[in-house]
Structure 1
Amino acid sequence: MVDNATQHKTTQYDDKGFPDAGEPPKTGRWKLIGPGIVVAVTGVGAGDLIATLIAGSRFGYALLWAAVIGCIVKIALAEGSARYHLATGSTMLDGWRSLGKWTSWYFGIYIMIWGFVYGATAMSATALPLAALFPFLPLWAWAMISGLVCAAFVAFNNYEVFETVMKVFIAIMFTIVVGIAILVVPDVGNALTGLIPTIPEGSAIYTLGLIGGVGGTITMASYGYWVNAKGWRTPSWMGVMRLDNRVAYIMTGIFVIAMLIVGAELLYTAQIALSTGDRGLLDLDAVLQERFGPFVAKAFLVGFFATTISSILGVWHGVSLLFADFVRTVRGETSGSRQGLEKTPAFKFYLFWLTIPPMTLLWFGRPFTLVIIYGALGAFFMPFLAVTLIWLLNSARVPKEWRNGWLSNGLLGAAALLFVVLCVNEVISLISG
């Protein structure tokens, strides 16, 4: 007989070749942490870095509390998604489908437009640090290489390899960003006062964005799929999943706080403004070079690259799983057929969709109308996720012992309200131009 410690060193497989970790071990559960790391590192991209930096550069430490609240909200959303998978043995797409065909219409339109525009955005963001580190190729070339390499990696590797690589990237980005935050010598007294909720004049939208934006959007719905890919299939893994989720978002919280410290200490105190968009991170590179020299500046670019490339890998894998499951549910196939989604033509098609068609946007820029539609649909996804999780997790679809309690309902309700406000603001911004 194989003991628990040996049994869970690697993923086990059933007689059909699908991952099945059996029963969780009684000790050493922290060694199994992985899917939460994947969803958390996927959710922190270049846009999140720049948003946090700008918040720190404009308001100092005043919005530190918002970063903490944001991580708590994301813990609730990711936990709800994975709990539905483990408690019911079905997937989020099965759950949404049970709420009515309107969910499939919405999700199908959303995932196609989102993937097309996100592919170009993510590849461009990853190209920025590569072009700065290795200027012998133009930005568009690095963008295309990034997308193609990530698509090939996801297509030809299993979940275990994917998770290991994602852990390497989070270790790089975490070490570098936290190291730079320590290097700038944070004002601990001011940082502690930043944990007291305040909303400085002109900071309302930044506050909401910091709470709602950092840590993932659509990829949060992928968490349950990654939990299943790890071989965690039954409610007995609920405790391990919750540990995994909390550790991952605590690390995300530390990472986000470190970026806010960098913004507060390097930019706010010196009144340095950043460029809009992802290029603002290159402005920070110049500031770091002037303050600490070329080694620290280059290290930051490496951390910048680890952040963006991990987002590409996570989206290429996780959202392709969502799309493959979407196709399965539309065809009316049974929930048991969700195993092996990575091998389906739908998974491979969406990898293609994320990588090749968006390359046209690298050449011609992003068409205005498409950006408008993308922004409008994107603003509606997080309210959709929060509201449907409340609906599903309080229904008879979930065994009674795994339905929402007052804390889960409170956090998911607060998340839904927050995202509705952000959604309304985004739509008003789009209408007003």
Structure 2
Amino acid sequence: MQTSTRDSGAASVGRVRSYLSNMGPSWVAGAIAAGPATMGSLITGGGAFDYALFWVVVLSAVAGAFAQYLAMRLGVLTERGIVGVVADRLGDTWAWLLVLDVVVAAGVAQLLIMKTVASVSATVTGVDSRVWGVVWAVVLAAGLATRGYRFLETVAKLLVSVVVVAFVASLFVVPIDASAAVGGLVPSLPSGSALVAAGILGGAVHITLITMHSYTMRARGWTADDYDLATFDVVASMLVAFGIYSVAIYLVTASVLTSGDLSTVEAAQALGPFAGRFAEWLFLFGLLGAAVSTLGGNTIVPPFLLADKLGWGTTVEDDRYRGLLVAAALLSAPGAFIGGPVLSQLALVLAIGTVGTPFAIAVVLYLLNSPAVPESNSAVANLAGLALLVVSGALAANFVREQVAAGLGPLSGAILVFAVVLGLATVGVFGKYVRREGAFA
């Protein structure tokens, strides 16, 4: 019996080691989630609202992991890209709507992420940010077109780990108000916090992360036989690594900063207790690392979905897909020419992405409860998925309401139209589900 227990323990340790060495796809999603937009939202939230939004931070890690778990289930159980499954089960119109949703959300984010990369590069080197925008776009196009997904995955894991360590180190030397932090776990939305709250949640539960997962797993060749490895991958990257990243940044900034209207220099003060007079530089390099990994990960998402819808391959072996990658990379260069403060714009980008996320969640839930999947969702998973849909929808609605209340302009008007179209589409998905179930009743 003792030998059997020892053998079982050794087998478990061996399995964990194997999982650790083979995990990867969810880390690309984690690299996007742990990017400068999320960092900007966390810093703004901590500086402007102290610990009041801590509950959103914790919720974002749990919700992000669960959203990736649902996306993982769909990918490994169908062994196909999400767009192809949507086209088969819902029709071409719905598939194109999903592609459009992703292209808009990821495209807007791409421009602001490039602006971040170029701005930080300019601060570090003294070279004009517009020059850096062109340089990074060319480097990105060349890297993705020649080396492909596995290179991106390796860079993502490395950069996420470095950024996490930097902020965790600060967490140990910053005086955290434990009682205030615990109080921040009670849900509340202070006046003016809807944008920031939507940005924080949007960093983890985002349409690009949900839709890309089936394609990154296909790039690794994962099938239903890799279900346990894929689950471990999600937990390690989104729940553990991203969760620690989010909590550490938020607690540090809520303890140190006193303003949510931050410049890069002011945000660097979050690392002051750890890095002393080098705080600004450490923050800048951390922000640059997060931005570069996010830029690469975000670039591949629209080409994945568009190539799938057009019936093309989704690897660099297909020249048409490679062309989409190059185009997406080069089209990010104009982001370096956008004016205005970086961090506040990043929070807006994530909030816009949050508007498109409920539709993606509804589509995934529909497909997971359809004949497309040989093993349907459990009742608990469905209820948790619906709760995720309600929470993300409520934060998105709050954000849209706040934008409209501030006065309709070109941007707020576009956000309102985007929200209405996708809101109706989300209702339509549930209507199709009810009709389908009624037909089989």
TM-score, normalised to structure 1, is 0.79
**Residue in structure 1 matching 2:259, options 263, 266, 272:** 272
- RMSD of aligned residue pairs (Cα, Å): 2.8
Instruction: Report the Cα distance in structure 1 between the residues aligned to 2:82 and 2:265, rounded to whole angstroms.
Output: 38
- Give the whole-Å Cα distance in 2 for the aligned partners of 1:49 and 1:241: 26
Match of 1:334 in 2: none
Contact 2:113 2:335 (8 Å CA) reproduced: no
**Which of the residues 399, 404, 413 maps onto 2:386?**
413
Q: 1:395 to 1:344 in 2, by over 3 A?
A: same
Note the alpha carbon deviations across 1:242-278, whole angstroms, 9 max, x for none.
11101111211110111111221111xxx33423xxx
Residues 189-233 of structure 1 deviation map (CA, whole Å, 9 limit, x = unaligned): 432333343444554554344333446431331112112222212
Query: What is the alpha-carbon distance in structure 1 between the residues aligned to residue 196 and residue 102 of structure 2?
Result: 26
In the TM superposition, what are the counterparts of 1:243-392 in structure 2 within 5 Å?
243-249=232-238, 250-267=240-257, 271-275=258-262, 280-285=263-268, 288=271, 293-328=276-311, 338=313, 341-360=315-334, 362-363=336-337, 378=353, 380-392=355-367
Q: Which amino acid aligns with 2:231?
A: R
TM-aligned CA distance change 1:361 to 1:256, over 3 Å: closer
Deviation at 1:169?
0.7
Q: Tell me the amino acid that sits aligned with residue 44 of structure 1.
A: A
Question: Which residue matches 2:45?
Answer: 55
- What is the match of residue 11 of structure 1? none
Query: Aligned partners of 1:287 and 1:67: how far apart in 2?
Result: 17
Going from structure 1 to structure 2, the CA distance change for 1:186 and 1:378 (only over 3 Å counts) comes to closer
Asked if 1:138 is matched to 2:128, the reply is: yes
Decide whether the 8 Å contact of 1:44 with 1:216 is kept in 2.
no
User: Does the 8 A contact of 1:63 with 1:207 survive in 2?
Assistant: yes
Q: Does 1:94 align with 2:94?
A: no
In structure 2, the partner of 1:167 is: 157
Alignment of 1:169-188 (within 5 A): 169-188=159-178
CA distance in 1, matches of 2:274, 2:159: 26
Contact 2:203–2:350 under 8 Å retained in 1: no
Q: Per the alignment, do residues 39 and 357 of structure 1 end up closer, same or farther by CA in structure 2, a change over 3 Å counting? A: closer
TM-score normalised by length of structure 2: 0.78
Counterpart contact for 2:42–2:246, Cα < 8 Å: yes
Q: Residue 78 of structure 1 contacts residue 221 of structure 1 at CA under 8 Å; is this kept in 2?
A: no
Q: Is the 8 A contact 1:288 1:297 kept in 2?
A: yes
| TM-aligned CA deviation for residue 139 of structure 1 | 1.2
User: Does the 8 Å CA contact 1:316/1:354 hold for their aligned counterparts?
Assistant: yes
| Cα distance change on mapping 1:162 and 1:286 into 2, 3 Å | same
Verify the 8 A CA contact 1:38 1:166 in the aligned structure 2.
Answer: yes
Report matched runs for 1:173-212 at 5 Å. Answer: 173-200=163-190, 202-212=192-202
Letter matched to residue 245 of structure 2: F
Is 1:219 the equivalent of 2:209? yes
Q: Could you say which residue in structure 2 is the equivalent of 1:44?
A: 34
Relative to total residues, which structure has the larger helix share, 1 or 2?
A: 2
Determine which of 111, 121, 126 is the counterpart of 1:120: 111
| CA contact 1:325–1:341 (8 Å) conserved in 2 | no
Residues 115, 354 of structure 1: 8 Å contact kept: no
Partner Cα distance (1:376, 1:60) in 2: 20
**Counterpart amino acid of 2:329?**
T
Cα distance in 2 for partners of 1:207, 1:361 equals 24
* Aligned: 1:84 with 2:69: no
Give, as a single letter, the amino acid of the residue that structure 2 aligns with 1:295.
F
Distance 1:27 1:304, change over 3 A: closer
Percent sequence identity over aligned pairs: 22
Instruction: Provide the secondary structure at the position in 2 that maps to 1:341.
Output: coil
Q: Which runs of 5+ in 1 are unaligned?
A: 1-24, 329-336, 367-373
Q: Which residue of 2 aligns with 1:238?
A: 227
User: 1:345-367 CA distances to partner (integer Å, 9 max, x unpaired)?
Assistant: 3422322332333434544769x
What CA distance in whole angstroms lies between the structure 1 residues aligned with 2:273 and 2:34? 26
Deviation at 1:162, TM superposition (A): 2.3
Residue aligned with 2:222, SS = coil
Question: How big is the shift at 1:426?
Answer: 4.4
Q: What does residue 157 of structure 1 align with? A: 147
Q: CA deviation at 1:130?
A: 1.5
For 2:15 and 2:37, how far apart are their aligned partners in 1? 40
Q: CA separation of 1:388/1:318 partners in 2, compared to 1, >3 Å: closer, same or farther?
A: same
In structure 2, the gaps of 5 or more residues are 1-13, 341-348, 410-441
Cα offset, 1:143, TM superposition: 2.0
